[in-house]
Amino acid sequence: MYTYVPTLTDYLLHEQRRFNNASGSFTTLMAQIENATKIIASHVKESGLVDILGKTGTVNSFGEEVQKLDEFSNKLMVETLTNCGEVYAIVSEEVAEPVYSPKEHSGNYIVYFDPLDGSSNIDTNCPIGTIFSIYYKNGDNLLQKGFEQVAAGYVIYGSSVMFVYTCGNGVNGFTLDPSVGSFLLSHRNMIIPDSGKIYSINEAYENLYDDGTKKYLAHLKKEGKSKARYVGSLIADMHRTFIKGGIFLYPADKKQPEGKLRLMLEVNPFAFLAQEAGGKAISKLDKNPLDIVPKHIHDRSPIIMGSKDNVDEYLSFLK
Ligand code: AHG
Ligand code: MN
Ligand code: MN
């Protein structure tokens, strides 16, 4: 039993007090994201009941139109953020164009998000999640480098629900206590181990990878000291990497020359988190993805990240 454990709200307020001139805007914004993700979490938990509650496109027994979970999550995040008073514009993985808050609710932040990452895994009960990346409004420019991120994080809807974020002062993880309804600080100052045994890559694409990547994979197998793990849900594969160490790779391949993952929606938030947790993240060769100037809000980028020693070992095969 615990007596006092800080909640996410306590922690945010504590952090806010470190800045003399803080207006509370950032704390309000984070509270809005927290609320939306708690609602998404409760829907994810019920997703197995879809046959009872009604299939997508049908009307359930409560007379409500049943929405796909990823569409629901997107709508909830868009509506929450563009009405909370702190956001200038949002960019969602599910929406081709940015959405601007109405003038009367416009604020100083830009939020990029992937409302439900790994959504193809919903019906298999594998972990899925929400990813977010926050910038200050900078004129009309939505294409800022990842280094400009004010905060980034994810909420994983897994065997437990966890809210993990950084605002450039380390990474902290909060686990939802369903009986209380609060995220409680459970993983203070998360650090990726310097090296790990697990590699995580879609090996079905092996023939499409460059020679360096092929040689690296052959080396791992020849040594026989590694374990392969690939859920196919970035949130799940990276959450495991934060806890156990190892390496996650979604490199370029012959069919996907820029890889698959979106620079501003998936790559940069995780690169920021990984680096804040003492790990390493690279894009093509040893380019830091946080240093890429995006050309479009939905740009893609190769990404290799995780334990520092593992990423350095991978790099040695590219040279
Ligand atoms: P999303 O569900 O948001 O479209 O993202 C799926 C992504 C990511 O979560 C995962 O790492 C990757 O797709 C897996 O891609 P492959 O099936 O090509 O391995
Ligand atoms: Mn995604
Ligand atoms: Mn998605």
Domain of residue 258, CATH code: 3.40.190.80
Query: How many domains are there within the chain?
Result: 2
Does residue 64 lie within any of the structural domains?
A: yes
- Mark residue 269 as left, alpha or beta (left: phi above 0; alpha: psi -120 to 50; beta: remaining): alpha
Answer yes or no: pTM beyond 0.85: yes
**Confidence band of 96 (pLDDT split at 50, 70, 90):** very high
Q: How far is the CA of 71 from the centre of ligand 3 (A)?
A: 10
CATH number at residue 52: 3.30.540.10
d(CA 152, CA 164): 9
Domain that holds residue 202: 198-316
Considering the domain architecture, whether residues 47 and 105 belong to the same structural domain is answered as yes
Does residue 115 lie within any of the structural domains?
A: yes
Residue that is written with structure tokens 């390496």 in the block: 247
Q: How far is the CA of 262 from the centre of ligand 1 (A)?
A: 10
Comparing 57-71, 159-173, 266-280, the range with the smallest average pLDDT is 57-71
Which residue, among 127, 85, 112, has the nearest Cα to 230 in the 3D structure? 127
Mutate to test the pocket of ligand 1, among 233, 263, 300 (most ligand atoms within 8 A of CB): 233
d(CA 185, CA 2): 12
Report in angstroms the alpha-carbon separations of 167 from 1, 118, 202. 30, 24, 30
* For residue 206, pLDDT beyond 70: yes
* Among candidate residues 154, 187, 220, the one where a domain is terminated: 187
Classify 105 as helix, strand or coil: helix
Considering the domain architecture, whether residues 213 and 153 belong to the same structural domain is answered as no
Report in angstroms the alpha-carbon separations of 247 from 82, 128, 147, 264. 36, 19, 22, 20
Span 245-249, average pLDDT: 98
Report in angstroms the alpha-carbon separations of 290 from 120, 129, 280. 27, 22, 11
Span 288-294, average pLDDT: 98
Does residue 120 lie within any of the structural domains?
A: yes
Average confidence score pLDDT of the chain: 94
* Among candidate residues 187, 214, 246, the one where a domain is terminated: 187
Considering the domain architecture, whether residues 162 and 72 belong to the same structural domain is answered as yes
Does residue 192 lie within any of the structural domains?
A: no
Given this model, what pLDDT does residue 319 score? 82
Does residue 3 lie within any of the structural domains?
A: no
Considering the domain architecture, whether residues 76 and 101 belong to the same structural domain is answered as yes
Given this model, what pLDDT does residue 5 score? 93
Contact 248, 201 (CB under 8 A): yes
Q: How far is the CA of 267 from the centre of ligand 1 (A)?
A: 12
Atom of ligand 1 nearest to the CA of 118: 2
Does residue 252 lie within any of the structural domains?
A: yes
Considering the domain architecture, whether residues 206 and 142 belong to the same structural domain is answered as no
Considering the domain architecture, whether residues 143 and 209 belong to the same structural domain is answered as no
Considering the domain architecture, whether residues 251 and 176 belong to the same structural domain is answered as no
* Among candidate residues 146, 167, 187, the one where a domain is terminated: 187
Does residue 2 lie within any of the structural domains?
A: no
d(CA 219, CA 247): 14
